[in-house]
Amino acid sequence: MPSDLPAALPIAYNVVHLAADDHRQALIDELMHRGDRIVDAIDSLIFVQGTSSPAAWARNSWLAPAEYRVGSIGEAARLLASVQRNWHLHSISHHRRAQLIADKLAPIRFRPLGFPAPVPSAPLGVFGLLDRDRLLASPVCSSAFADGRPVFAEDREGPPNRAYLKLWEALTLARTQPGPGDVCLDLGASPGGWTWVLNQLGADVIAVDRAPLVPELAGAPRVTTHRGDAFSLTVEDLDRRPDWILSDLIAYPERILALARYWCRACPQAGIVITVKCQGAVDPAEIDHFLAIDNARLRHLSANKHELTFFRLPDAGPPEGASRRP
C-alpha cells in the first residue's frame, strides 16, 4: 500500500458475518455455540473474534476486516483501489458519503446469472463507513457475490414453481452439476421444480414423492416417477446406484439428519444436496450433527427461507458453506 495512505487501525475482531435475512439470532447462537466471541453487532453485521471461516447462517463472511481513519472520500477510494479492483458497498452508516466513495471506484456490472454458470473468480471485497471518517473494508469474503446473494435470470416459462431457483443456487455453489448419463434421485420431488432442473441438465431422474409431478414432467424423457414414502426408500430398491441424491422433503431436522447419514453412507461417491427445514428456534447443536458427516457443508442459500442446505460433494463442497471445525 502506498505510504501516503493511512495504516490499518488496531481492532478487536477478526471476522464480520452478515446474517442471512431474518436469521440474525440463529447466526449469533451458532457463533457462540462454536466458541466465537461476539465483540459487536450493528444491524445484521456480527463482529467476532474467533474462527475465521463461514457460518451456516451467514450470507457472507468478511474474512480479512480492517479499519482505517480516512480524511476524505478521495483518500478512502484511493486506499481501496490500492488493495484490489472490485469492491461492493455494504452501507452501514453515512450512506451518501459511502456511495460517493463507491462512485469513485472501478464500476462492476452484476449481470443476472444464467444456469449453469461458473461462480465469478475475481475477488470481491466489501466496505462501508462505520463513522464519517472510519472505513471498514475486507478484501477477502466467503462469497464472490455481492452480499452473498447470487441473482439469476429467472425462467418464468419452463419450471412448474420457483423451487428451481434453490437448486440453481445450490448447484452453482457446488461448482459441479449432474449431466447426461448421471442418475439423480429427487426425494420430495412434487410438483417438479428440481426434477425440471435435473431434466434440463440431461440427467436421468428418479422422482420420489407421495404427490404427483406435473404431467409435463411425469411424462418427460429420462424421468421415472415413484409414488410413495421417500424415507423408506433404500439403495437396494433402485435399479441403478444414484450419482446424485437431492432432497427437498419437508420433515423434522432429526429425520432429515437420518436421511442424510443413510444416503452419505450408502452412496459414498454421490453428490448430495439436501434441504434441512428448521422448525421454530434453531438448536445450534443440530448444525454440529450435520457437519459431523464427512465432507459436509451447510449454508443458508439466498433462496432458502427458514431452512439450510446440506451439501456432501466428492470435491468437498461449496467453500461458502460452514464446515466442521478444524
Ligand X SMILES: C[S@@+](CC[C@H](N)C(=O)[O-])C[C@H]1O[C@@H](n2cnc3c(N)ncnc32)[C@H](O)[C@@H]1O
The single residue among 4, 107, 181, 211 that binds ligand X, judged by CB under 6 A, is 211
The single residue among 54, 193, 253, 318 that binds ligand X, judged by CB under 6 A, is 193
Binding segment (CB under 6 A) for ligand X, from list 71-79, 144-152, 176-184, 248-256? 248-256
With respect to ligand X, which residue has the nearer C-beta, 102 or 185? 185
Count the neighbouring beta carbons within 10 Å of the beta carbon of residue 169. 24
The single residue among 77, 80, 137, 249 that binds ligand X, judged by CB under 6 A, is 249
With respect to ligand X, which residue has the nearer C-beta, 185 or 313? 185
Give the whole-angstrom CA distance, residue 317 versus residue 310. 10
With respect to ligand X, which residue has the nearer C-beta, 211 or 281? 211
Cα-based distances in Å from 136 to 9, 38, 45, 175, 217:
10, 17, 12, 30, 49
Shortest distance in whole angstroms from residue 152 CB to ligand X: 15
Query: Judged by CB under 6 A, does residue 188 bind ligand X?
Result: yes
Query: Judged by CB under 6 A, does residue 168 bind ligand X?
Result: no
Query: Judged by CB under 6 A, does residue 253 bind ligand X?
Result: no
**Cβ contact 204:148 at 8 Å:** no
The single residue among 16, 201, 220, 230 that binds ligand X, judged by CB under 6 A, is 230
Shortest distance in whole angstroms from residue 184 CB to ligand X: 12
Restricted to residues 295-324, the positions that interact with ligand X (CB under 6 A) are none
With respect to ligand X, which residue has the nearer C-beta, 54 or 253? 253
Query: Judged by CB under 6 A, does residue 194 bind ligand X?
Result: yes
The single residue among 210, 240, 241, 265 that binds ligand X, judged by CB under 6 A, is 210
Shortest distance in whole angstroms from residue 5 CB to ligand X: 50
**Cβ contact 174:85 at 8 Å:** no
Query: Judged by CB under 6 A, does residue 47 bind ligand X?
Result: no
Give the whole-angstrom CA distance, residue 276 versus residue 80. 39
# residues near ligand X by CB under 6 A: 19
Shortest distance in whole angstroms from residue 16 CB to ligand X: 33
Q: Are strands 204-209 and 223-227 parallel, antiparallel or unpaired?
A: parallel
The single residue among 248, 286, 307, 320 that binds ligand X, judged by CB under 6 A, is 248
Residues that bind ligand X (CB under 6 A): 161, 163, 188-194, 209-211, 229-231, 248-251
